[in-house]
Amino acid sequence: MSPKSQFLSEILEQPTALRRLLAEGREPTAAAAAKIKQFAPEWALIAARGSSDNAARYAQYLLGAHNGLGVGLAVPSLISLYGAAPRMGRAAVIGISQSGQSPDIVGVVATAAKQGAVTVAVTNDPSSPLSRASSATLPLFAGEEKAVAATKTYTTELFALAMLSAELEGDAERKAVLEKVPGYVEQVIASVEGRVAQAAQGFANAGKLVVLGRGFNYSTAFEVALKIKETSYIVAEPYSVADLLHGPVAMIDEQFPVIVVAPSGAPQVDVPKLFDLLEKRGARVLAISDRADVLARAQFGLPLPADVPEWVSPIVAIVAGQLFAHALCVATGADPDKPRGLSKVTLTH
Phi, psi of 345 (to 5 degrees): -110, 125
**Residue 3 pLDDT more than 90?**
no
Which of 117, 143, 170 is the last residue in one of the domains? 170
Shared domain check, 81 and 142? yes
Inform me whether the pLDDT recorded for 235 exceeds 60: yes
CA distance 164 to 25: 10
Q: What is the pLDDT of residue 346?
A: 59
Q: Looking at the structure, tell me whether residues 312 and 198 fall in a common domain.
A: yes
Specify the higher pLDDT residue, 337 or 232. 232
pLDDT at 27 over 80: yes
- Do 221 and 279 belong to one domain? yes
> Of 211, 47, 229, 260, which is closest to residue 149 (Cα–Cα)?
229
Model confidence pLDDT, tens digit, residues 40-72: 999 999 999 999 999 999 999 999 999 999 999
Predicted pLDDT of residue 147: 85
> Domain for residue 341, yes or no?
no
Asked if residue 283 belongs to a domain, the reply is yes
Is 86 in the same domain as 209?
Answer: no
* Judgement on whether residues 95 and 165 belong to the same structural domain of the protein: yes
Q: Domain tally for the chain? A: 2
pLDDT of residue 348: 64
Q: Which pLDDT score is estimated for 342? A: 55
What is the average pLDDT score of the chain?
A: 92
Query: Is the same domain home to 36 and 164?
Result: yes
Q: At residue 2, does pLDDT exceed 70?
A: no
Tell me the mean pLDDT in the region 252-266.
Answer: 86
Question: Do 155 and 199 belong to one domain?
Answer: no
- In the predicted structure, residue 127 carries a pLDDT above the cut 60: yes
Asked, for residue 1, whether it belongs to a domain, the answer is: no
Q: What is the mean pLDDT of residues 132-158?
A: 95
User: In Å, what is the CA distance from 79 to each residue of 87, 98, 150, 205, 301?
Assistant: 11, 21, 27, 42, 44
Secondary structure (DSSP) of 310-328: GGGHHHHHHHHHHHHHHHH
For a pLDDT cut of 90, what percent of the chain falls above it? Answer: 80
pLDDT band at 343 (very low <50, low <70, confident <90, very high): low
Confidence tier at 250 by pLDDT (50, 70, 90): confident
Domain CATH number, residue 99: 3.40.50.10490
Q: Are residues 211 and 138 in the same domain?
A: no
Same domain, 18 and 166: yes
Report yes or no: 207 and 235 within 8 Å, Cβ to Cβ: yes
Domain limits at 135? 6-170
In the chain, the percentage of residues whose pLDDT exceeds 70 is 95
Q: Is residue 345 part of a domain?
A: no
Question: Using 50, 70 and 90 to split pLDDT, how confident is the model at 265?
Answer: confident
Q: What is the pLDDT of residue 148?
A: 82
- What does the pLDDT average to over 139-167? 95
**Helix, strand, or coil (residue 95):** strand
Determine, yes or no, domain membership for 343: no
Question: Averaged over 73-84, what is the pLDDT?
Answer: 94
Residue 8 binned pLDDT confidence (cut-offs 50, 70, 90):
very high
- Contact in structure between 285 and 256 (CB atoms under 8 Å): no
Same domain as 268, residue 152: no
Residue 134 lies in a domain: yes
- Encode burial over 39-63: b for 16+ CB neighbours within 10 A, e otherwise: bebeebbbbbbbbbbbbbbbbbbbb
| Residue 176 in domain | no
The most confident of the ranges 227-241, 255-269, 329-343 is 227-241
Q: Name the band, by pLDDT with cuts 50, 70 and 90, for residue 221.
A: very high
Same-domain check for residues 126 and 247: no
User: Quick one: 18 and 154 in the same domain?
Assistant: yes
pLDDT at 256: 82
Residue 242 lies in a domain: yes
What is residue 308's predicted lDDT score, i.e. its pLDDT? 97
